[in-house]
Amino acid sequence: MIGRKIYKYDKVGSTNDVAFIRAQEGEKEGAVIWALEQSKGRGRLGRIWVSRKGKGLFFSIILTPEISLNEAPLLILTAAVAIVKVLRKSCKKDFLIKWPNDIVIDDKKICGILTEMESEPGRVRFIILGIGINTNLKISELPIEESTSAKIESGKEVDEENLLFLVLKELDNYYAIFKKKGAEKILKEARDLCCLWGRQIKIDDGRKHRIEGTAVDFSEEGGLIIRQNNGFLKTIFAGDVKLLR
């Protein structure tokens, strides 16, 4: 289902924007917008996602899951599990999920996920799942120090089209699991693949609240449960996680 229609572009502003407009125009679930280059690639919290031709895989998927707004983090985890599986297989390295939306190895980021949605009271109308994977960046080309690429990790040049198909196939597989079996299986796999457990972290929730503590588990909706330094547990549903040690 995912990838049954793929729109390929040489260059767009942001694949998320193109996908959003197409979804508003009625494009069906599973359509993929793929661009070789983005002039306005963006990450979370208003950051720029550097998107140069031949150096990364940039695509967005239109999804229309029957979920409520507070279940959206589960969908990001579903995608993260699928991407980790593919990267592990193709690079032979133990990539992990850094909740909520990064894939890392040794705390260096290789992939980011940006979800944007249109909703109506209580439910999601559609979600755009935007995915950026660093493919052929060399060490000297990395946009930030704490990042890496598939080529750096595997020592091999990456064929982006091939990687796209592998990721779409695995996403399709996990999205079907998510829809059929619900959160439980996804959460179990995501727990085993998350790099945060037992680590001291600081979370900026985007509303000037900073929470410090140790990551202990996922909640049923895919939020992150933290034991704060004052001993109380708190569940966070979105935010920017900094690893303190």
The piece of 84-92, 129-137, 202-210, 230-238 that touches ligand BTN (CB under 6 A) is 129-137
* Candidate residues 3, 27, 38, 238; the one interacting with ligand BTN per rule CB under 6 A: 38
The closest of 73, 180, 177, 170 to 117, measured between CA atoms, is 73
Q: 160-181 and 72-91 are packed helices; what angle lies between their axes, rounded to 10 degrees?
A: 140
Site string for ligand BTN, 98-127 (x = CB under 6 A): ---xx---------xxx-------------
Judged by CB under 6 A, the number of residues near ligand BTN is 21
User: Is residue 20 a contact residue for ligand BTN (CB under 6 A)?
Assistant: no
User: Is residue 14 a contact residue for ligand BTN (CB under 6 A)?
Assistant: yes
User: Is residue 147 a contact residue for ligand BTN (CB under 6 A)?
Assistant: no
Q: How far is the CB of 184 from ligand BTN (least distance, A)?
A: 26
Give exposure, 86-106, as e/b (b: 16+ Cβ within 10 Å). bbbebbebebbbbbbbbbbbe
Name the helix (H) or strand (E) containing 176.
helix 160-181
Distance CA 50, CA 45 (A): 15
Q: Which is nearer to ligand BTN, 132 or 223 (CB)?
A: 132
First-to-last alpha carbon distance for the chain, in angstroms, is 41
Amino acid at 48: I
* Candidate residues 9, 47, 53, 93; the one interacting with ligand BTN per rule CB under 6 A: 47
Q: What pairs with residue 115 in β-bridges?
A: 129
**Residue 148 has what DSSP assignment?**
-
Q: Which is nearer to ligand BTN, 65 or 112 (CB)?
A: 112
Q: Which is nearer to ligand BTN, 141 or 177 (CB)?
A: 141
Judged by the rule CB under 6 A, the positions of this chain that interact with ligand BTN are 14-16, 38, 41-44, 47, 49, 58-60, 101-102, 112-114, 130-132
